Structure 1
Amino acid sequence: MDDTSKLLETIWTSLGGKADQARQVEFTAQGALPSAFPVTDLAASSMAAAGLALDELRQAAGHGACRFVVDRRLASFWFSSSLRPLGWQVPPLWDPVAGNYATRDGWIRLHTNAPHHRAAAERVLGGHEDRAGMAASVAAWDALELETAIVQAGGCAAQMRSAQDWAGHPQGLAVAAEPLIHMQTHASPERARNAAAFDPARPLRGLKVLDLTRVLAGPTATRFLAAYGAQVLRVDPPTWDEPGVVPEMTLGKRCARLDLHKPQHRTVFEQLLAGADIMLHGYRSDALERLGYGAEWRRVRNPGLIDVSLDAYGWSGPWATRRGFDSLVQMSCGIAHAGMLWQQTDKPFPLPVQALDYAAGYLLAAAAVRGVAMRLTGAGALQARTSLARTAKLLLDQGADKVQEPALASESAEDLAAMIEHTAWGEARRIAWPIALPDCPASWPHPASALGSAPARWESEAR
């Protein structure tokens, strides 16, 4: 069994699957993500786990198991960018002052993409128009002191730590004690679909997915669910935007806005949740509770709901409610430090892509689909969760060593068997999907669209 298959087995058994099912997957082609860590293995195996969940669902509906193929090279590209615009450009991914900075005693990363996160950093460091000014302010601080000050101000920052330091840190210890995927079920009214009406080519057809996720991890999961027939409605707050990733991540979805501080919008949200089969959320672990929509409320309102969630730094420990993103977790947990040693440089060296986000997204998708299968067989309604930090531990556990892979090549989208997509911003090519599940092709009902471009309601079943 090769390394990718071994990693798939680890992921799949963490999801409650049987180890021998990992042998249904054949991995082809070479990866394209050079790193101190096996990032391509993580990409291909996490996508394969979501594919195995689909096949398990088809078996639960009375169809036989099948072998399928995952293309490692295409998986590498889908962990970076699957979209190739034609005559237009995606906005920059990063805010001008986001990034790594030297402090008096080490390195820190500032995450300032959201305006309120940048404002929090500038309350501590002063306002700056460019990186040079920000760098001068950061240089006057110790890394831990600055991390603490920015977090207390409501911002997002992470000191660079080694893997050894993280392993002994109270939050590192808490994360290490958590399972990769925490899954539990509870009794619920039977909401299974008629197996005779099940469409093995579109196994998620008829399912409604309420998407309360942002940036990459959660949207990756819901993009996967949309690919196989689910109706996905993404709901964002009125002013939230993430222009650098929206064209990549809204494929297959309708996107609405609600202000959950307004009574009339809360009523709409509650109706949407009552009608949902699956809900994914990627807020901090206490965010929905503070809005009055905690786990127990959701369970009472919708007893059959498959409830899947993600946070940054884990669900226990002193940082359980800390704001975080992939790039920050890489700094905190030792990945950027290990990359620095591997690259033989004096600066943090992160993974070549936001791999924690993408991998966590496919783990969430796999958990959600497993939840559908459980409900179909009467096993109850599933609650599942993971975190970026626990996904980072999965990668760290594989060990840091030089992985001989070529960098992502500048091949044209045509060479990658792309399809034409008529996005809200213009035409683009979307590269080929890595998972080749027999008689079950991925296809998306909607092109990528702007946030807030659709009404906050479920589409008619007659559509």
Structure 2
Amino acid sequence: MSNDVTQSMLDSILVALDLPDEAGSRVTFSGEDRLPSCFPVSELAAASIGAAATTVSELVGLFSAVPPVSVSYRSASLWFGWSIQPLGWELPSPWDSIAGDYKSSDGWIKLHTNAPHHRAAALSVLDCEPTREAVAEKVETWRGDELEDAIVAAGGCAARLRSGAEWAAHPQGKAVTAEPLIIWTTPSNGIVSEWRSSPARPLSGLRVLDLTRVLAGPVATRFLAGYGADVLRVDPPEWDEPGVIPEVTLGKRCARLDLKTVSGRDSFKRLLGEADILIHGYRSDALEGIGFSAAERQAIRPGLIDISLDAYGHSGPWARRRGFDSLVQFSSGIASAGMDWQNADTPVSLPVQALDHATGYLLAAAAVRGVIARTTGSGTLCARVSLARTAKLLVDYKGSPSNAEFAPPIDEDFAAAVEQTDWGPARRLLPPVNIASTPMNWTRPATKLGSSTAGWIA
């Protein structure tokens, strides 16, 4: 039954990618390990990673035999958590001290305060000391809807706990349900690339400009780097994600540009003009506001494969709302369903940030699908995906719970080589997927933000 769910999920993703019907038959799944949840999280992990690998396999098949793909449930599930194991040093917690779940006067609400400006927004609304005790005391005086609206209006991030039925009746839930898993646009036609793939490193020679932050976008570009793409991540001068960067910068170069300045925008324009793929996770109006609308991006780089991410979908009243995986789980009924499943007194979210990770692999799959289209001369493909729409894919398979215990990583789960990161030595999990004769590996260790110059490799 579990493999049937995984295959069904995979088929849904491959249909969204407009890949041949037989593509799914070249993917096999193995193992019995499953993450405990009332939702098929490990199946989603295997299906989304398998879909991304299938697009790579199809790309290789343009120039040679199409290789088969194999996915281990255990490896896929582990990669939905942390792939890095520091040796002699520690990862800082990615969570701010006041982030988390709080009881309101009429239910539960989650505050996401990891970014300093989001923390400041929440505290400005609550008007209290920055301690969990003080925040909890204040939150209890608010109705959930009112506090959610107030924090969002102040530029912060929060989500009231909703049931699946509440989300289905909500205007944003209805909007997300009406959206396809991947929204495609074709801004131009007739673009043919002279670039050619090779089975050993199928994405070698492709330049990927990465304008993403935790977590889905960086997962996508990490995957692309694993098959040879030259990934350049660009961050603002002040931005940092200390608890996550060692996990997600594997295989990439990381630079800083201030897009609020003329010189920063000029540098970005030069980078964009030589990129093959742009992956961005800013709110939909952010790039447009500084002179880089979708049309302008295509004018700068005709044939650009433009892949974007949003939290709550691309239509409806929340289309531009700030959001993260944990918030979407609260909004969409996932944390409420987990609470019911465990008969718990507090919300129960997924065991991993599965919406982020799965959406990341959808982004990567869409990018490679765009490469296939450009390589075959069938036009330029640009795509948009969202955490909320990925949540619907998972929720549609709620009837497949797992009560199994999932064993933490052991020596055999890790690659033999030691990765010399900018923070110190570390071990990295074995790749989550295998494409025959096409190994997934990274030629660069994880690196700090701003450690490279903002330019492409000659």
Report the TM range for the smaller structure's normalisation: over 0.9
Q: Which residue of 2 aligns with 1:449?
A: 447
What is the alpha-carbon distance in structure 1 between the residues aligned to residue 69 and residue 216 of structure 2? 24
Q: How far apart are 1:66 and its partner, in Å? A: 2.4
TM score, norm. by length of structure 2? 0.97
Mapping for residues 296-375 of structure 1, pairs under 5 Å: 296-375=295-374
Contact map agreement 1:342 1:401 (CA 8 A) in 2: no
Q: Which residue of 2 aligns with 1:207?
A: 206
What is the alpha-carbon distance in structure 2 between the residues aligned to residue 119 and residue 387 of structure 1? 26
What is the alpha-carbon distance in structure 1 between the residues aligned to residue 195 and residue 270 of structure 2? 24
TM score, norm. by length of structure 1? 0.96
CA pair 20-189 structure 1, distance change in 2 beyond 3 A: closer
Out of 26, 44, 53, the residue aligned to residue 46 of structure 2 is 44
Out of 18, 30, 33, the residue aligned to residue 31 of structure 1 is 33
What is the alpha-carbon distance in structure 2 between the residues aligned to residue 338 and residue 366 of structure 1? 29
What is the alpha-carbon distance in structure 2 between the residues aligned to residue 413 and residue 450 of structure 1? 26
Out of 4, 7, 28, the residue aligned to residue 5 of structure 1 is 7
Q: Which residue of 2 aligns with 1:133?
A: 134
Amino acid of the structure 1 residue aligned with 2:114: N
Q: How far apart are 1:58 and its partner, in Å? A: 1.0
Mapping for residues 102-117 of structure 1, pairs under 5 Å: 102-117=103-118
CA pair 283-415 structure 1, distance change in 2 beyond 3 A: closer
Mapping for residues 371-410 of structure 1, pairs under 5 Å: 371-407=370-406, 409-410=407-408
Q: How far apart are 1:32 and its partner, in Å? A: 3.5
Contact map agreement 2:420 2:426 (CA 8 A) in 1: yes
> Could you list the per-position Cα deviations for residues 277-318 of structure 1 after superposition, in whole angstroms to 9, with x for gaps in the alignment?
000000111111112111011111111100000010011000
Q: Does 1:439 align with 2:437?
A: yes
Contact map agreement 2:61 2:67 (CA 8 A) in 1: no
User: Matched residue pairs, number?
Assistant: 456
Q: How far apart are 1:348 and its partner, in Å? A: 0.6
Q: Does 1:162 align with 2:149?
A: no
Amino acid of the structure 1 residue aligned with 2:22: D
Q: Which residue of 1 aligns with 2:119?
A: 118
Report SS of the residue matched to 1:94. coil
Contact map agreement 1:413 1:429 (CA 8 A) in 2: no
Amino acid of the structure 2 residue aligned with 1:425: W
Contact map agreement 1:237 1:259 (CA 8 A) in 2: yes
What is the alpha-carbon distance in structure 2 between the residues aligned to residue 226 and residue 200 of structure 1? 15
Out of 419, 422, 447, the residue aligned to residue 421 of structure 1 is 419
> Could you list the per-position Cα deviations for residues 351-389 of structure 1 after superposition, in whole angstroms to 9, with x for gaps in the alignment?
000000000000010010011011010011111011000
Q: How far apart are 1:199 and its partner, in Å? A: 1.6
Amino acid of the structure 2 residue aligned with 1:111: H
What is the alpha-carbon distance in structure 1 between the residues aligned to residue 441 and residue 401 of structure 2? 36
Q: How far apart are 1:340 and its partner, in Å? A: 0.3
What is the alpha-carbon distance in structure 2 between the residues aligned to residue 194 and residue 148 of structure 1? 48
Contact map agreement 1:83 1:248 (CA 8 A) in 2: yes
What is the alpha-carbon distance in structure 2 between the residues aligned to residue 194 and residue 349 of structure 1? 47
- Structure 2 unpaired stretches of 5+: none
Q: How far apart are 1:2 and its partner, in Å? A: 2.1
Q: Which residue of 2 aligns with 1:216?
A: 215
- Structure 1 unpaired stretches of 5+: none
Amino acid of the structure 1 residue aligned with 2:365: A
What is the alpha-carbon distance in structure 1 between the residues aligned to residue 6 and residue 392 of structure 2? 16
Contact map agreement 2:53 2:365 (CA 8 A) in 1: yes
Q: Which residue of 1 aligns with 2:241?
A: 242
Q: Which moved more, 1:161-170 or 1:444-453?
A: 444-453
Q: Does 1:86 align with 2:84?
A: no
Contact map agreement 1:419 1:431 (CA 8 A) in 2: no
Q: Which residue of 1 aligns with 2:149?
A: 148
Amino acid of the structure 2 residue aligned with 1:11: I
Q: How far apart are 1:439 and its partner, in Å? A: 1.0
What is the alpha-carbon distance in structure 2 between the residues aligned to residue 88 and residue 261 of structure 1? 35
Q: How far apart are 1:235 and its partner, in Å? A: 0.3
Report SS of the residue matched to 1:458. coil
Q: Which moved more, 1:183-192 or 1:256-265?
A: 183-192
Contact map agreement 2:161 2:336 (CA 8 A) in 1: yes
> Could you list the per-position Cα deviations for residues 225-268 of structure 1 after superposition, in whole angstroms to 9, with x for gaps in the alignment?
00001000000111111111100000000001111111111110
Q: Which residue of 2 aligns with 1:95?
A: 96
What is the alpha-carbon distance in structure 2 between the residues aligned to residue 222 and residue 402 of structure 1? 30
CA pair 26-142 structure 1, distance change in 2 beyond 3 A: same
Q: Which moved more, 1:198-207 or 1:246-255?
A: 198-207
Report SS of the residue matched to 2:6. helix
CA pair 194-351 structure 1, distance change in 2 beyond 3 A: closer
Q: Which residue of 2 aligns with 1:67?
A: 68
Amino acid of the structure 2 residue aligned with 1:434: P
Q: How far apart are 1:30 and its partner, in Å? A: 2.2
